[in-house]
Every structure is written in structure tokens, then in C-alpha cells.
Structure 1
């Protein structure tokens, strides 16, 4: 259930369109209370979640491939490979570096957790002012779950998945450590995106991971009761404009 704490009137469902309506319904129909400090924060969350979903689909179409760190690659004109990950070069703006992953995807190869962090960065870039993004995320270091503290990833237990959440399919009998599991974005409508597998239903994701088990495996992959989200209360202060004062941006 959606609760807005400062007594601002909650907008109606018909003030939104498309994916934002689906997100709204998932939040409102949840048995979990979703408290927002303001109407602005609530609407920001809808836009951010929608951008996470759109960005996941863009990555799926980008041409970026799946690879472990040993055979990974990032555009060398923008990133420097270190033993900890890929470090942004000092003369490149963070916003331009993140955009490059999605527009120049054939220059990139990485695994699924790196994909999630990149999706989060790109979605935040699409939702807040570019100037704020470049201030918050200077000298990016990207690989696995390395991320700037200002991204504010929050992980909780439970299966109350809202579109735009990141969820994990665990593969206990993996054949190669890179396939221990698959981090995915829940796209809504029963679909998940995982880098290296693509867009699948829950059953499709599990079936794909089951083909990546060691010989004579007995334990199937499964979706764990956990979800990761961004700190919208913190990030909403950096938005381009106040959503709550311009109803046109709802759609």
C-alpha cells in the first residue's frame, strides 16, 4: 500500500500511463506499506522504476556480451582496466561514460552483476539532472557489485517484487562460478531480464540456468526471496524538476 506521509493527496491511477500504471498498482496492492516522505518522492520512484525497466531492455538490445572478468572488456577510450574493475578516465564525464555502454555496446563484455549496476546508473542518469549525476558519480569504478555509495542500493528479504526491482536466481549446482546465479531486473508482467540469458519468464530463467549446471546435478535453480532497490528518498532530491507541481510529467 502507498502511504504519503506529509498529507499530500495521492494521485489517482488514471493520472499515469503505461508501465507507471503497472508499478503504481503493484505498490498499491502490496500487503507491504510503501511510505514516501512526499508526493514528489513517490512520483520520482515511479519514473525511476520505469527507467530501470526501459534501461534493462536497452541493454538487452545494445550488443554488449556476457563475459567473466578475465575476458571482459570496456571501451578503452573511456575506461582503464584495473585488478578491481574498470576505472573511469579522468577526462571523461560519468554521464558520457554510462551512455557509451548503451550506445556502443559492442565495445563491452561483462557479467550479470556488473550489468545491474550499469542499468542502475543509466536509469538514475535518465531521472535526475545530468549536472547532479556528474557531481555524485565522479571517478566511477565498475565491476561486479562495486558502486558509488550515492547510488544507494538497498537489499531486503521478501518476495514482494515490484517492477523495477532486482531479484536473484540462484543456481546451487553451477558448472562454472560465473553461473552461480543470475541477477535480473523484474520487468513486470512476469518477465525478467538477466544479462547473458536475456528476457525470460521465471520458468524460462530457471530452465536456462539449469542448462549451466555441472554434470549429474540434482538441485535446480530457483528464485530467492530477496530484492534490491535504489534509495529513492535520497536520489529524489536531485531530480530535474518537481514532479508534484507539473501533472503533465506524470504520463
Structure 2
């Protein structure tokens, strides 16, 4: 259930939410878990940024970026320096927003593995959701690697994947993976619409969860008996934090509170 300023009674006018935003809102609203927001604006920002995570996933899947393990990562040297560990360090004098956008416009100059793909998607979604100048200030020391190494994403851990909605980051674990194929130990994915996921490894692109499990199972040790599976844990950015930096030029709806009800309609 969603609770805003102490009430769960919120009415959105026609056209205030996109179809995807309404789907996300409704799933959270009927959930037995309680999701608290300090304002309607914070909720609306989260819904918007989640759609941007989905759009960024679609864009990266079509960008031409190659899959590679960290040892064989590749990037555009005009924007990034690559470290011995396969990390991408922003070049001095380069605007972070330009470097992130380059991955999507010059994808064939890049190669990285699935966890870095998730990081790239999240940074692009943040860029499209907040003021670009603030994005540059916040990420002046930008270093791309796996999402455990990117504190600038302000990720929050959750533990019940059934509650995940579009824009959350899920993980498939392959407990009996073939050691000769170390990237077969699992797959980081973005949850998309209609219960599909976006995964960069193995050329998944956008696929069903069953397809991800089937492909991972093809990389188990001989004689293995335990299937790959979707883990309970998932993560997402702290949307309420990034809402503080959203672009003020966005057209915000009219919000009115009458008694226990909050009414939101498009301007």
C-alpha cells in the first residue's frame, strides 16, 4: 500500500500518469507492504525515473555494445580511461553526461559485462530524470564498474523479489556454474514491462525470466542437479534522494488535498 502524507487515498486525473506509471503505482498500491512517501511529488518522480530506467534498458539493448568480461572490456578513449581491472574512469575535462550518452550513441566502441550494463542503464536514467548540470557535479569522479562499486547510485537493497516492479535490478544465480565460464555464475537484469527482463550477458536483450534460467543452465558443470534461479534480493536507486535534484522545468501536475483525499491532475 502507498501512503503519502499519512493517507493512502489518492486520485489521479486522466492523463496524469502514463500507462506504465499507472501499472507500477497500482502494483505498489495493492501490495501488503507499505510504501511511504513524504509527498506526491516524490512518488511522481519515482514513477517517472522508473520509466527512464526501462527506456535506457531498451536503448542500451539496441546500442551495439558488446558483451565482454572485465579483462576484455573496451571503451571510447575520447571519454574514458580503462583500468587494469576493466573499470572505466572518466577522462579529465570530460562532462559526465557526455560520457554516459556516448555509450548509447557509439555503442560499438564499448564492451563490458552484465553488472556494468546495469550501472550504465541506471546512470543514463538518472541523467534523464534530474538536472544535467547537477548530474555532472554529482558524478565529476565517475568510475564505471559493477554496481557494488558505484556509491553515487545510492542503491537500496530489498529482499522479496515478488515486490519488484519495473526499473528494479534483479539477480539470477547459477550455483553450479562451469568454472571455465566464470560469467556463467549469474546474471544481473533490469525488470521490464510484462514481467520481462533486460540482460546484457549472452546477448539476452529483453527476454523472459525462463529464457534467462534456460541459458544459464546451459553453463553448469557436468552432472549438476541444481538449476539457476531468481534470487530474493533486488536493488534500486534511492528515488527520494534523486528527487531532490530533478529538473524544475518539468511540467508538474496540480495537487490538492481535501480531507483524507489527495487529488492529482494534469495541468
Q: Does 1:100 align with 2:105?
A: no
Structure 1 length as normaliser, TM-score?
Answer: 0.93
Q: Which residue is equivalent to 1:50? A: 51
TM-aligned CA deviation for residue 20 of structure 1 = 1.1
Q: Which residue is equivalent to 1:86? A: 88
Q: Does 1:169 align with 2:176?
A: no
Larger gyration radius, structure 1 or structure 2: 2
Distance in 1 between the 2:154 and 2:168 partners? 13
**In 1, are the aligned partners of 2:13 and 2:265 still within 8 Å (CA)?**
no
Q: Which residue is equivalent to 2:225? A: 218
Q: Deviations over 1:165-190 (max 9, x none)?
A: 11001111112211210000010311
Match runs of 1:8-19 below 5 Å: 10-12=10-12, 14=14, 15-19=16-20
TM-aligned CA deviation for residue 250 of structure 1 = 6.5
Number of aligned pairs? 251
**In 1, are the aligned partners of 2:213 and 2:228 still within 8 Å (CA)?**
yes
Q: Does 1:143 align with 2:150?
A: no
TM-aligned CA deviation for residue 213 of structure 1 = 2.0
Q: Which residue is equivalent to 1:204? A: 211
Structure 2 SS opposite 1:25: helix
TM-aligned CA deviation for residue 200 of structure 1 = 1.3
**In 2, are the aligned partners of 1:62 and 1:106 still within 8 Å (CA)?**
yes
**In 2, are the aligned partners of 1:22 and 1:188 still within 8 Å (CA)?**
no
**In 2, are the aligned partners of 1:171 and 1:179 still within 8 Å (CA)?**
yes
Match runs of 1:20-31 below 5 Å: 20-31=21-32
**In 2, are the aligned partners of 1:113 and 1:144 still within 8 Å (CA)?**
yes
TM-aligned CA deviation for residue 68 of structure 1 = 0.4
Structure 2 SS opposite 1:225: strand
Q: Which residue is equivalent to 1:232? A: 239
Moved over 6 A (4+): 6-9, 248-251
Structure 2 length as normaliser, TM-score?
Answer: 0.87
Structure 2 SS opposite 1:163: coil
Structure 2 segments unaligned to the other structure (5+ residues): 255-263
Distance in 2 between the 1:227 and 1:41 partners? 21
**In 2, are the aligned partners of 1:8 and 1:38 still within 8 Å (CA)?**
no
Structure 2 SS opposite 1:189: helix
Distance in 2 between the 1:172 and 1:36 partners? 37
Structure 2 SS opposite 1:75: coil
Q: 1:146 to 1:202 in 2, by over 3 A?
A: closer
TM-aligned CA deviation for residue 10 of structure 1 = 3.0
**In 1, are the aligned partners of 2:2 and 2:8 still within 8 Å (CA)?**
no
Distance in 2 between the 1:109 and 1:49 partners? 25
Q: Which residue is equivalent to 2:257? A: none
Q: Which residue is equivalent to 2:260? A: none
